[in-house]
Amino acid sequence: LRDLAGLRAGESVLIHAAAGGVGMAATQLARHLGARVFGTASPGKWGVLRELGFDDAGIASSRTADFEEQFLTGTSGAGMDVVLDCLAGELVDASLRLLPRGGRFIEMGKTDIRDAGVVAGEHPGVAYQAFDVFDAGLDRIQQMLVELARLFETGAVTPLPFAAWDVRRAPDAFRHMSQARHTGKMVLSVPEPLDLEGTVVLTGGTGSLGAVVARHLVGEHGVRHLVLASRRGPNAEGARELVAELGAAGATVTAVACDVTNRDALAELLAALPAEHPLTGVVHTAGVLDDGVIATLTPERVAAVFAPKVTAVRHLDELTREMDLSMFAVFSSAAGVFGSAGQGNYGAANAFLDGWMAKRRADGLPGIAMAWGLWEQTTGMTANLSQADQARMSRGGLLPIDVAEGMRLFDTALRMPTALAVPIKLDLRGLRADATAGGSVLPLLRALIQTGRRQAQAGENGSGLTARLVSLTPQEQEKLLLDLVLTQAATVLGYTEITNVEAHKAFNDAGFDSLTSVELRNRLREATGLKLAATVVFDYPTPLALARHLHDGLKPAQSPTGTHPLLAELSKLEARLVETPVNDSIRAQVATRLQVLLTTWSTANGTPPGDAALDFDATSDDDLFDLIDTTFGN
């Protein structure tokens, strides 16, 4: 800008790709020299340019040549004095035309280098030059670096924003850069091994889960200096025994009473670490639960859950940023990844941890959020889980993780080049069975299971259930819906038999709370296709009352198919086919018999079998999918 372009105060300069690292640097230097700066970038990056101080008149797209007319109009035809270019093709031509009074055109990108003589002939007064930095020579480069150092020292220019990519993700980083999706600079970071002479701080270290991690850090990672931070510190149950056990294993372990949500207390703890054993790693396991549906989550209940997650981790991050850590691991939860019924506060708090670790990684700092599933070992947070709570988690496809599995997953997560790991133990078979029984599947897991076409269709509109009801008497309809309610209620409460739930017994008395009531509502909504209020279990407080409400919503008596005896028999047969488990051999035999029956029926009524099979207008979606399943053996 100064040596080649001779940029001076009061002149106008166009910087292409101004949201990139070089563009941001050029913008700062041009403003330092007193020039008026115009910039281009893809529209998605205009917000970045505005943050850099560009006004709307000085911003245009780098994807089209429209910037030519826009900037000529905005400068009353004067155009630019200097263009710093990195584009190609017609965009270079448009940029050259932005020097109508002559000027300096400096080519950095060099993907479309022009002949300086030709440019001068076509654009009078324009000096064109493409260059390499090393053209300046080593002496001049040294002088420039000294001058730049002074500018940084005085604050005239500031370091560029950057995003760090773990060196193991270098291919992803280069692909990202080649697609021009980045702003500022991109930096490859190299992970540092844990310094065994350094100190690791383990928050929640005297809890049951913290003790597991502490033993693993000492026994498997060779950590020799460990601080166990918790609210009660050495007075916590089992804390002194744990310290003695780890000490016998060769580690220097200290249990410290510290509320990590208190920034001053945490700062005091970190300042007290011995200089000869500086902080090298942080593992944050602390957390609390206070579950409830959204309507019951008061600000106080949200704050209580956020404190050991959001507040504590922000303090840990801020106070350790300059300490050159090798490890910064936080225990998050799958509730923040998948969503979890009744855990709006807990899910949000853990989602914050996941995002904050991504920010640390982008800042070139170590950071990994481990979004754990359910632990087999009862921890302080899960000690009060009811049978219904545990059953709900199992139906969600999550099996409990034992200690050995958990620590293997912990080590795997530490080695990952990403900011988020989801160490969970999936039970796809159980998940598939629950979905078949009318349960809903977490959206992120739906691609992992195939529940069958019929269940998916029923969840969309309940047409299959309505068709079955049409063929029944009012008494049979009520019994069918009551059985549905009782079955789903028993499942939600973790029972294996519906006899544990009584038709006339209030849901409240059976053990339902706000959380399980919402789950029952969701399962019934999936099975019937009805829009049911979140309070439906309280509005219709017994299974029988709720079954009658479902009947009113489905209105089976108004079905256009009527109640012809043949249709009634077919509905009963359909119900038996859906409900009766069979092996592949029997399934194939039944399919063959049904095809024969269809042929016989069509022939008897004067309709060729082929035409009947292809009468799509008269055939329901269920029939079409049954035909596909049978034909292709799915």
CA distances from 66 to 39, 51, 597 (A): 13, 22, 69
CA distance 545 to 321: 59
CA 556 and chain centroid, separation: 42
- Structural domain 12-154, CATH architecture: Alpha-Beta Complex (3.90)
Q: Which of 84, 68, 91 is nearest to 14 (CA)?
A: 84
- CATH homologous superfamily of 454-558 equals ACP-like (1.10.1200.10)
H-state helical runs in 220-332 = 239-248, 263-271, 299-306, 312-320
Note the pLDDT of residue 526: 83
Domain-wise residue ranges, the chain: 12-154, 199-428, 454-558, 585-632
Note the pLDDT of residue 559: 45
Note the pLDDT of residue 44: 92
Which CATH number among 3.30.300.30, 3.40.50.720, 2.40.170.20, 1.10.260.40 corresponds to the domain 199-428? 3.40.50.720
Please give the radius of gyration of the chain, using alpha carbons only, rounded to the nearest integer: 34
Which residue matches tokens 């912990």?
Answer: 410
Long-range CB contacts for residues 111-114, cutoff 8 Å, separation at least 24: 111/86, 111/87, 112/87, 112/88
Note the pLDDT of residue 395: 62
For the chain, residues with pLDDT lower than 70 are 377-396, 437-440, 450-463, 557-565, 568, 571, 575, 578-579, 605-634
User: What b-and-e string marks burial along 455-485, b requiring 16 or more CB atoms within 10 Å of the CB?
Assistant: bebbbeebbbbbbbbbbbeeeebbebbbebb
